Amino acid sequence: SWTMLNIVEDAVEAVRAQIGPEGRAICGLSGGVDSAVAAAIVQRAIGDRLTCVFVDHGLLRKGEAEQVERDFVAATSVKLRVVDAQERFLKALDGVTDPEEKRKIIGREFIRVFEDEQRAIIADGPVDFLVQGTLYPDVVESGGGTGTANIKSHHNVGGLPDDLQFQLVEPLRALFKDEVRRAGEELGLPAAMVWRQPFPGPGLGIRIVGAVSRERLEILREADAIAREELSRAGLDREIWQCPVVLLADVRSVGVQGDGRTYGHPIVLRPVSSEDAMTADWSRVPYDVLARISTRITNEVREVNRVVLDVTSKPPGTIEWE
């Protein structure tokens, strides 16, 4: 739209003015809409003086890494460094079952990998700016202060060490989520990114109840992809706030398939409606949609023989299971 075009153009101008004709910037991409739109705006402003970093921790959902590496790059011409850190995260998470411990480990490893990349980029020449996808509600929540380099804590990335000090570039500071999505459309970003539901920084790592392993991630990724596909086919993906799909990795139950007895894992569907994730209600997804999801998951994901629906509101349940 005309006004959104103006908003994007103004943001590009403001970034150009802030960074100047020589400045270089770094931006971490998470696969989510905020960092993607922020990066796309800064790319328009300064071209390849922006370097984006994508840490593939192996905890994203099916197709999401490719969305960043292929579709986002194709749509924006952003200069991207991809770090395949899957092994490193699997190793660090090996045998860990406590949810907060998982978060701590994922956050810590993320910072380490990201810092190594920053140092490598700085080795090519000085970098003064760090791009962040801070939205207006984040600004209000944190008291409205500007500009110290501290990546949002709910991205599970803490403060930066003293030798990595940057000025922050926050092109989305005046925008609400729906405006960011419209800006993303205006910028021609992939629809799957623009319309992605909220997804936690620790990713599938906190949607496996039990220890994380490569095999368990693979099971959950397949089940989650089926649920997402059927929810969007039913036109519910933009209506439902989010739908965590959870693997109860340490639970097994008896089932029957063909003429054989199975002993597999349950998958939990947790569709919720919410305004802000502070409170939520379980979504009344039509039975036929639930039936299709259940049939497909149990048919197509060998290790899963049971699909259950979470009908708990928040409170007392949280949205995620961990």
Task: Based on the shown chain and the rule CB under 6 A, indicate whether residue 319 belongs to the binding site for ligand XMP.
Answer: yes
d(CA 160, CA 150): 6
- Write down the least CB distance from residue 18 to ligand XMP, Å: 27
Do β-strands 260-269 and 245-248 pair in parallel, antiparallel, or remain unpaired? antiparallel
Task: Based on the shown chain and the rule CB under 6 A, indicate whether residue 202 belongs to the binding site for ligand XMP.
Answer: yes
φ/ψ (deg, to 5) at 227: -60, -45
Residue of 35, 76, 132, 242 that binds ligand XMP (CB under 6 A): 242
Q: Facing residues of 307 across strands?
A: 267
Segment lying near ligand XMP (by CB under 6 A), choices 11-19, 64-72, 126-134, 311-319: 311-319
Do β-strands 208-209 and 281-282 pair in parallel, antiparallel, or remain unpaired? unpaired
- Provide the annotated binding site: 30-36
d(CA 231, CA 222): 14
Q: In terms of CB distance, is 90 or 277 closer to ligand XMP? A: 277
Segment lying near ligand XMP (by CB under 6 A), choices 19-27, 129-137, 164-172, 193-201: 193-201
Residue of 149, 192, 240, 277 that binds ligand XMP (CB under 6 A): 277
- Provide the annotated binding site for ATP: 30-36
- Write down the least CB distance from residue 91 to ligand XMP, Å: 20
From first CA to last CA, the distance across the chain in angstroms is 40
Binding mask 151-190 for ligand XMP (x = CB under 6 A): ---xxx----------------------------------
Amino acid identity at 105 = I
Residue of 79, 81, 103, 252 that binds ligand XMP (CB under 6 A): 103
Output the DSSP codes for 44-101.
HHHGGGEEEEEEE-S-SPTTHHHIIIIIIHHHH--EEEEEE-HHHHHHHHTT---HHH
Q: Which residue has the tokens 């962040």?
A: 132
Task: Based on the shown chain and the rule CB under 6 A, indicate whether residue 281 belongs to the binding site for ligand XMP.
Answer: no
CA geometry: angle 195, 198, 200, nearest 5 deg: 140
Chain residues binding ligand XMP by CB under 6 A are 103, 154-156, 198, 200-202, 242, 277, 314, 318-320
